[in-house]
Amino acid sequence: MNTLRVFLLTVFCFSLPLSLHADELDKADAAVANTLFEYDGSEEYATYKANDDGSVDLIFASNTPDNLYEDILTQLQNHPDIRSVLASKGGPACKLF
């Protein structure tokens, strides 16, 4: 019986950080999705991946206008649910620009 308690306590302790990371991931993912939703056609020129720690990786089309790139990047960098943003304009050119 004692062994079972120790086992359950161990499983609980190791699963707690995973659930905390999942929450950070979900919040960062929602923050990016909501921000990009405000920009028409953003699904054509931006892709992203939210990470377990709440950071976000973004790739924009290589021909994304600088002012648009900087505006989106600034919003994401200042969002409270995003820990950090790694972004580049290294994606394929977009026909919208």
Instruction: Report the alpha-carbon distance of residue 58 to residue 84 in Å, rounded.
Output: 11
Instruction: Report the alpha-carbon distance of residue 37 to residue 39 in Å, rounded.
Output: 5
In a domain, 32, yes or no: yes
Can you give the pLDDT at residue 41? 85
Residues found in the chain: 97
3-state class (DSSP) for residue 53: coil
Can you give the pLDDT at residue 24? 87
Total-model pTM = 0.73
In a domain, 51, yes or no: yes
Of 84, 95, 80, 21, whose CA–CA distance to 48 is shortest?
Answer: 84
pLDDT in 10s for each residue of the chain, 97 residues: 566 555 555 555 555 554 445 688 999 999 999 999 998 888 899 999 999 999 999 999 999 999 999 999 999 999 999 999 999 999 999 998 9
Instruction: Report the alpha-carbon distance of residue 19 to residue 7 in Å, rounded.
Output: 18
In CATH, what number is assigned to the domain containing residue 66? 3.30.300
Domains in the chain: how many in total?
A: 1
